[in-house]
Structure 1
Amino acid sequence: MLNRFEAREKATAGFLEKAARELSVPPFALMMRAPLPLSYQLPDFRSTNPTPGVFERQTLEAIEQARAIQRRAVAFGHSSNPLPASRLDPGTLEQTAARFRRFLRLSDQRQYDCKDALEFYRLCRFEIERHGIFILHRSFPSVDGSGFCLADPPAPIICVNTMAQTAGRRLFTLAHELAHVTIGASGVSDPFIRKNDTEIICNKFAAALLAPKSLVSRVVTELRLDPNPSRVDIARVAKRLKISQQASVIRLEELQYVSAGTHRRWLTGINVSGDPDTETGGGGGGPTPQHKVKLARFGFSFAKVFGAALRDGALAPIDLYRLTGLKPKYQSAYFNFASLARYDDAEEE
């Protein structure tokens, strides 16, 4: 294909450099007779039979950076805490999710008292990272999924795609990727594309983790929810549960609080009016302090491990910059802030 393009368009060296950049390979790879072997390829769990996927440059860069962070964390001796389970059996998912909620200190009341989905997301992230799992934020094309995980012990990493995802949707992505870490299945996912058994079981776990039956029952009772709810009703449930609207309607139907087919009807409605779980605009207000922005992007586990390495001289500021893009002028402020920060101190730009 490249040869035909060159013959037709008289491709310049500049074009070849751009093409190589988009493919995340060195320019000479385009001239090789055999494909350049790739060192690491993540399965795409959005397919029926998950195999190594083909992703956009920004996604490939996010994956490679996460891999580099993981390798360096392991070299520093980091090890996450054992999770409450290492498998997810369909028949015991509710019980397993309940064990995880205790492990993460997510009581019904603590969740209910959160101001909104964003606060609950930050709380869940903090509690997961408290056990040594890395949670990174990166923005890459939404066509490449909602997030990915590198489940390899002893330093598993979850990366949440911040592109056009509301806090509620990020929350479900986070819980879904935690399920992938639990069963040791690294890969790229979109919780709302379910074409294989792994994604189905990870979704069911995420729903049970974020919306336990006891809390859903409380909200249904408080709102006197009709078995044939309107989209306004679904939005009210989601607001009380602090999760996305789609996750709410799926869970309500799963627990038989609403009639069969409610989720399908809800999907039909948003195809006309727009998806309420997708962000369509920016925020406002003044600039966010950079130490809070870095905390949102890299998280608490990263700050603990790499801040210690920097203080101990095991890592130089310029090496940390080359690894992550975190400029030396922001490093100390971020690491010092993260050591004392609360779960809700991380803020996006």
Structure 2
Amino acid sequence: MRYEPVTGVQPEIFRWARVSVGLSVTDVAAMLKRNPEDVAAWEAGTKAPTYPQLETLAYQVYKRPLAVFFLPSPPEEQLPQREFRTLPDADMQTLARDTYLHIRRAHAYQLALRDLDDGHNPAEHLIWKSVSLATSQPLAEQAERIRQHLGITLEKQIRWASDVSALKGWRKAIEDAGVFVFKAAFKQKEISGFCLADDVLPLIYLNNSTTKTRQIFSLLHELAHLLLSMNGLSKLDTGYIDALPKREQRIERFCNAIAAEVLIPTQDFMAETRHLPSDLEPMTDVRFSKLASRYGVSREAGLDHRLVHCC
């Protein structure tokens, strides 16, 4: 009986489970070591897997409870392609299964937090209630409002002894402001992180396999998304921005600029670089390193952005 075809599973459940983790029929067949025709037949309803095959599909491939496959229809669940607008369509279509699973896990965290805190945010002062951003407003003023709400002065930032201390400091300040921050290592290395907007329990999820300075920049980039009241999904290489529609390009560049301005306030940066040559090529790595360490950033995660816009 155990190796006979399973009955009672609607074919559309198979397709929903596959699409919900970004896999193709060929991908699933390879993971099961079956022919693609078998997987396609399960989704068409002309064949059915055995119980051991269904267990493998549920627990190892789709990462779903077995009971889900016996529902009368697929549950309501928003796909990342509809949930995020900050990556080009081509990039959204190539999200790795691992990234889908991280996004699903983040939603589960939000639900758990809602149950744990009885639908309330435990923070006393919610940053998105007092700070909202607009791409049309002066950048420095908006970044300063973020700093003030987080309670991070430039003097406090400079005192952080390492990038590890800086990441802990920024993270604690943002969590104290009501935004939950989670970290995990992504197999899709080019993803820097994402955020899920919510009026009560917003969440930022960082790729823990990137450098600490990159995580700091990503943390503030995603915070900017939340203060624009939108979800965000970002990559390390900013080249993806050029492939976005004009409106989304403006938003992504704005979020990068806000993150850079919060980390490296223009007024202080101009004072620190007033003696720099107009041609930056002769600058030594030592000079760059000293400037980066002042703010707890790397050249890639903020300093280059500030140099381009201020020098």
User: Same fold judged by TM-score > 0.5?
Assistant: yes
Structure 2: unaligned runs, 5 residues or longer:
1-24, 40-48
Does structure 2 conserve the Cα–Cα contact (< 8 Å) formed by 1:149 and 1:156? Answer: yes
Normalized against structure 1, the TM-score is what? Answer: 0.61
- Going from structure 1 to structure 2, the CA distance change for 1:8 and 1:62 (only over 3 Å counts) comes to closer
Q: Choose the corresponding residue for 1:207, options 260, 280, 283.
A: 260
Task: Give the whole-Å Cα distance in 2 for the aligned partners of 1:184 and 1:51.
Answer: 22
Normalized against structure 2, the TM-score is what? Answer: 0.68
Task: Find the counterpart in structure 1 of residue 289 from structure 2.
Answer: 235
The equivalences for 1:55-70 within 5 A come to 55-70=95-110
Task: Find the counterpart in structure 1 of residue 305 from structure 2.
Answer: 250
State the aligned residue count.
252
* SS across alignment from 1:142: coil
Task: Give the whole-Å Cα distance in 1 for the aligned partners of 2:250 and 2:224.
Answer: 13
Task: Find the counterpart in structure 2 of residue 304 from structure 1.
Answer: none
- Going from structure 1 to structure 2, the CA distance change for 1:74 and 1:19 (only over 3 Å counts) comes to closer
* SS across alignment from 1:175: helix
RMSD: 3.5
- Going from structure 1 to structure 2, the CA distance change for 1:206 and 1:191 (only over 3 Å counts) comes to farther
Question: How far is 1:54 from its partner?
Answer: 5.4
Does structure 1 conserve the Cα–Cα contact (< 8 Å) formed by 2:167 and 2:215? Answer: yes
For 2:292, the aligned partner's letter is: A
Task: Give the whole-Å Cα distance in 2 for the aligned partners of 1:133 and 1:183.
Answer: 14
Task: Give the whole-Å Cα distance in 1 for the aligned partners of 2:168 and 2:187.
Answer: 23
Q: Choose the corresponding residue for 2:220, options 146, 150, 175.
A: 175
* SS across alignment from 2:273: helix
- Going from structure 1 to structure 2, the CA distance change for 1:119 and 1:27 (only over 3 Å counts) comes to same
Task: Give the whole-Å Cα distance in 1 for the aligned partners of 2:54 and 2:289.
Answer: 49
- Going from structure 1 to structure 2, the CA distance change for 1:38 and 1:138 (only over 3 Å counts) comes to farther
Deviations 1:112-140 (A, max 9, x none): 12112221221111111112210111111
Does structure 1 conserve the Cα–Cα contact (< 8 Å) formed by 2:190 and 2:237? Answer: no
Task: Find the counterpart in structure 2 of residue 78 from structure 1.
Answer: 120
Task: Give the whole-Å Cα distance in 2 for the aligned partners of 1:64 and 1:8.
Answer: 26
User: Which protein has the larger Cα radius of gyration, Structure 1 or Structure 2?
Assistant: 2
Task: Find the counterpart in structure 2 of residue 39 from structure 1.
Answer: 77
Task: Give the whole-Å Cα distance in 1 for the aligned partners of 2:57 and 2:95.
Answer: 14
Question: How far is 1:52 from its partner?
Answer: 6.2
Please say if 1:225 is aligned against 2:276.
yes
The equivalences for 1:1-349 within 5 A come to 1=25, 6-7=34-35, 21-24=60-63, 36=74, 39-42=77-80, 43-45=83-85, 47-48=87-88, 55-75=95-115, 76-79=118-121, 81-83=126-128, 84-143=130-189, 145-163=191-209, 165-190=210-235, 192-193=237-238, 194=241, 195=244, 196-221=249-274, 224-227=275-278, 228-229=280-281, 230=283, 232=285, 233-246=287-300, 247-255=302-310, 257=311
Moved more, 230-239 or 133-142: 230-239
Moved more, 165-174 or 39-48: 39-48
Structure 1: unaligned runs, 5 residues or longer:
258-349
For 1:40, the aligned partner's letter is: Q
Task: Give the whole-Å Cα distance in 2 for the aligned partners of 1:48 and 1:17.
Answer: 35
- Going from structure 1 to structure 2, the CA distance change for 1:8 and 1:179 (only over 3 Å counts) comes to closer
- Going from structure 1 to structure 2, the CA distance change for 1:19 and 1:145 (only over 3 Å counts) comes to farther
Task: Give the whole-Å Cα distance in 1 for the aligned partners of 2:292 and 2:199.
Answer: 34
Question: How far is 1:215 from its partner?
Answer: 2.6
Does structure 2 conserve the Cα–Cα contact (< 8 Å) formed by 1:216 and 1:241? Answer: no
Task: Give the whole-Å Cα distance in 1 for the aligned partners of 2:38 and 2:223.
Answer: 49
Does structure 2 conserve the Cα–Cα contact (< 8 Å) formed by 1:97 and 1:208? Answer: yes
Deviations 1:137-167 (A, max 9, x none): 111123461111111120001111102x111
For 2:77, the aligned partner's letter is: S
- Going from structure 1 to structure 2, the CA distance change for 1:178 and 1:50 (only over 3 Å counts) comes to farther
* SS across alignment from 2:138: helix
